[in-house]
Each structure stands twice: as C-alpha cells, then as structure tokens.
Amino acid sequence: VSLTREELNVLVVDDENVLCQGVRRVLEPLTVEVPEHGAQAVFRIRAVGSGEECLRQLSVQAPDVLLLDHKLPGMTGLELLNRIFSPQQSLLVVMITAYANLDTAVRATKLGAYDFLAKPFTPDELRGVMRKAATHVVLSRRTRKLEAEKRQIRFEFLSVLAHELKAPLNAVEGYMDILHERLGGEELGMVERSSARLGGMKKLIYDLLDLTRIESGAKRRELKLIDLAPLLRGAVEVVARDAQQRRIRVELEVPGPVPLHADAGEMEIIFNNLLSNAVKYNRDEGRVLARLRRDGDRVSLEVEDTGIGLTAEEMGKLFREFVRIRNDETANILGSGLGLSTVKKLARLYGGDAVVRSTAGVGSTFVVTLCDGVPEAPQGAGRAGGSYAASPGD
C-alpha cells in the first residue's frame, strides 16, 4: 500500500542558533509513517529567534507544530504560549525546557502545550516527540476532513429537503388564497389561520436555505461598496404592515449614507430578521428604534424594542440554532428559531458580532457590528465554513 506524503510545518522558536540547526539536521531527513491513516509525514522546518517574531510568523503561516523554548530574549515561552493558545486551534506546542525546571513543563502543559522536551535532549528524544506529534497532526487532519464532509452532507440534505418542500407549499398556498376569496364565516377564519401557519412553514424553509447557503459557503457572495441606509429603509417597509396593524411605531436614526463593503442580500437578511423580531416580540402600541451609524472602521446597527424583553438565561441561548424563547407571551408568535443564529453567523463573517441587551418586561436592544467584508481568498468559502464548525455551539 502506498502512503500519501504529508508535509508538517514546524516552527522552531529559539535564540540559540545551534539548537535550531540541530533540530533541522534531525528532522529534515525524518519520515514518520502513520500506516493506519495511509500517511507518511515529512517535516518542513522554519526557525525564529524570539517570541515577537514567532507571533508575526503565526499570522503569516500557521505551523502544525511549534517547538518553543521557554528561555527567550524578551517575551518568555510561557508568556507566548499564554497569548497564542486557544482550545479551538490545531497548533501543537512542544515546550523546550531545562531539566532543572520541570515546573515550567507542568505550567506549559496546563497552558495547553502538547508535550515537552527537556534540555539537553538527544536526537532520538526529539524524533520520539515528533513521531507522536506527527501522528496526532495526521489524525486531526483526517478528523477535520471527515467533519467537513459530514457538514457538507448535512447542508446538501437540508438544501434538497427545503427545495422539495417549497413546491408543494406554494401549491397549498395558492389553494388557500382562492378559498380565502370565496369563503366566509367561521371557515374564513380557519383558512386565515391555515395560511398563517403555512407562512410560518415557508419562513422556516427560507431561513433553512439561507442558513445552509451561508454555512456551506455555497452562496456566492457579492462584496461591493454599498449604502446600507436604503436597505434598512427597505427592511422597515417589509415590517410596516405588521407594525401598523398593532400600532407599533417604527423609527429610524440614520445620519446619512452608511457605506460598507458588503453583500446586499446578507445585509437584508440581518435587517429583516432584527426588525421583524422587534415588531413580533413588541407590545401593541410599542416602539421600535433602529439606529445605523459608522464608528470608525465599523458599522453598527442597534434595534431597540419595547417588547417582552429577555431574562439572563434566555439571553444566553438566544443566538443558537432552533432556539425559540417559549413562554406564555411568545406562545402565539410564529418563528423558525433560525433568524438570530443566522444574523450572528453573518455578523461574524464581517468580523463583527451580534449581541443583545435586555430587561425582561421592558424591552431588548440588539446590536450588530460589521466591518468591511474582505473578498475571500481562493479557499475562502471553505474557510468560512470551517470557522463556523469550530464553534457549533455558539
């Protein structure tokens, strides 16, 4: 069986040139076979002399393995580890410490280091540690690939399902419209109720399609400089009828043009979701205030309502998929539970976020911040999908 050759990038952070050269001499000829995953790992070595340089390198090209000496000029290895480590990342850190200083090794492990090497170490000890690390990297690459495939299948399934559901729903809606024109009395009420439930189902399907398109990166994004002000006014038009029926005032505070490099469709999804929520969850004769403005390099949209508000517990889970706040006051409000999770995902796509401030019984304010969207690198769509995968429980 032939093994696939896989390159592992190793970044050595040490101010002792001798050590860097030694690592190179040992690792460059080394091949680690991981037959159970059909892989053969080889190492590409880069070296830097300080923590500061390491940080710069990490932002340019993230290595798979970081061989990090604790004793460095300037920032120490532990300080650096403290700054770079996050549970989501796949970077393996091997800490190099002096024998006398096992305490450092223990603290490094606590900070998330994968392994450590005590100085002075032999070539065999280095090979041993790197064999273990290479197997780990190959395994986690395989896992990531499988997860991406699983996600893709889930998206395709949802997308096919949603498309197949749209046609029959449209047909039923057509019959309902005809019945609505011809019926009277109690039956008319039933038809109206059926149409409303049908509308809710359609909204769920469209939300699902939005979500899967955004998450899978299958939606073609058109990032260009657009003025968000007219889009927000358009979103107000969309909710105007519902607001009027319940005598809710919808007010806008927009200082003038609010330009942003963005996809107009994505902006509409954000605006429509927030405004329709602000009307839906408001009290009759309440008020909705939407403020849109540019703050330096970012745009912020605040949507304030005088609605039922949220408890701290409700706020905690509000942005998750399929979460709907269920209580007596929301029992008759239709929704898919997808709107806010989509808003948050989109905001993150623009390097921003969506958050909520709220007082139960008084009202809520949703704040979305957005930075200029950057046209994606060739692997951009995949990366966007991947970054969601890193935090599925958000």
Interacting residues toward another protein by CB under 8 A? 170-171, 174-175, 177-178, 182
Minimum Å gap between C-beta 231 and another protein is: 23
Minimum Å gap between C-beta 177 and another protein is: 8
Please give the helix or strand (H or E) that residue 129 lies within, else none: helix 123-182
Minimum Å gap between C-beta 178 and another protein is: 6
Output the CA–CA distances (angstroms, integers) from residue 79 to 53, 57, 338, in the order listed. Answer: 14, 16, 40
Minimum Å gap between C-beta 213 and another protein is: 14
Closer CB to another protein, 181 or 284, in the complex: 181
Q: CA 210, CA 338: separation in Å to the nearest integer?
A: 9
Closer CB to another protein, 62 or 172, in the complex: 172
Dihedral in degrees, nearest 10, Cα atoms 205, 206, 211, 216: 90
At how many degrees (to 10) do helices 380-389 and 339-349 cross? 130
Closer CB to another protein, 38 or 265, in the complex: 265
Q: CA 89, CA 109: separation in Å to the nearest integer?
A: 15
Closer CB to another protein, 4 or 170, in the complex: 170
Structure tokens at 274: 């927030």
Cβ(97)–Cβ(116) below 8 Å? yes
Cα 297 to its chain centre, rounded Å, is 21
Minimum Å gap between C-beta 61 and another protein is: 37
Count how many residues are written for the chain. Answer: 394
| Residue 178 burial (CB count, 10 A) | 10
Closer CB to another protein, 3 or 179, in the complex: 179
Minimum Å gap between C-beta 158 and another protein is: 18
Cis peptide before 35 (omega within 30 of 0): no
Cβ(217)–Cβ(385) below 8 Å? yes
Closer CB to another protein, 174 or 361, in the complex: 174
